[in-house]
Amino acid sequence: MPRNLKDHILQTASELFYRHGIKATGIDTIVKASGIAKMSLYKYYPSKDALVLAYLQTSADCMRNRILTGINDKNFNPQEKILAIFAVFDEMVASPDFRGCPFINAAVEYADVDGPIQQAAADFYREFCHLLTDLARQAGYSEPEELSTQLSILLAGATTREQIHKGSGAMRSAYKVAETLLKINSAEKALTVSGKTPLNRVEINKF
């Protein structure tokens, strides 16, 4: 059912790369699974590395979409948006197909290569932290970069833990910690600015 051959190849390859790992997925496996000819694959993707890069690209697009949809659909304030990101991640790890973060996995598989694949993985991570920092800044926190680092650590750690022990509920634990951090930093910031503790407006409570 390939509406577009190039996309069909990429989609099949992406599923296999994510499920079994990149190095464990050979070209012949992709060719057989997608039911296309090997020459067609090499026509659209001149090498396996090119295909892997495209896979990481679409993974980044997909992730970005899910996150932005999750935080922009309802009219959340910045603080609520941050917590909504944890809800998006909780959905992700709950999927039966979940097998960790594609970027971290790729970075691990291409250990010593300081090439485009490592770069792509690091780039997405950087972009993601940037989003968190922006939200923290918009929410008015005094140390947005430190806070976003802490939040990204929680997300990466819970993702990893769910990868090793599926269904451990790690993302919900991470959510609780994030809630705490937002409350505390919010209070600190308010104290330094206005001298009194603001209301706690974090009441999404998806969990």
Partner DNA sequence: GTGTCAATAGACAGATCTGTCTGTTTCGTC
Partner DNA sequence: GACGAAACAGACAGATCTGTCTATTGACAC
Dist. CA 84–CA 106, nearest whole Å: 26
Tokens found for residue 201: 């407006």
Q: Which does 46 bind (CB under 5 to 8 A by kind): a copy of itself, DNA, none?
A: DNA
Instruction: Please name which of 91, 181, 188, 79 lies closest in space to residue 137, comparing C-alpha atoms.
Output: 79
Smaller CB separation from a copy of itself, 57 or 160 = 160
Dist. CA 38–CA 22, nearest whole Å: 18
The residues near 31 (Cβ < 8 Å, ≥ 6 apart) are 37, 38, 41
Near a copy of itself by CB under 8 A: residue from 154, 179, 182, 186: 154
- Based on the shown chain and the rule CB under 8 A, indicate whether residue 49 belongs to the binding site for a copy of itself: no
Q: Which does 170 bind (CB under 5 to 8 A by kind): a copy of itself, DNA, none?
A: a copy of itself
Tokens found for residue 89: 């991640």
Smaller CB separation from DNA, 44 or 207 = 44
Smaller CB separation from a copy of itself, 177 or 190 = 177
How many residues of this chain interact with a copy of itself, rule: CB under 8 A?
45
8 Å CB contact between 82 and 182 = yes
Smaller CB separation from DNA, 42 or 207 = 42
* Cα dist from 133 to 24, 65, 147, 198, whole Å: 36, 18, 7, 21
Closest contact distance (angstroms) between CB of 1 and DNA is: 11
- Based on the shown chain and the rule CB under 8 A, indicate whether residue 34 belongs to the binding site for a copy of itself: no
Near a copy of itself by CB under 8 A: residue from 5, 49, 92, 100: 100
Sites of contact with DNA (CB under 7 A): 5, 25-29, 35-40, 42-43, 46-49
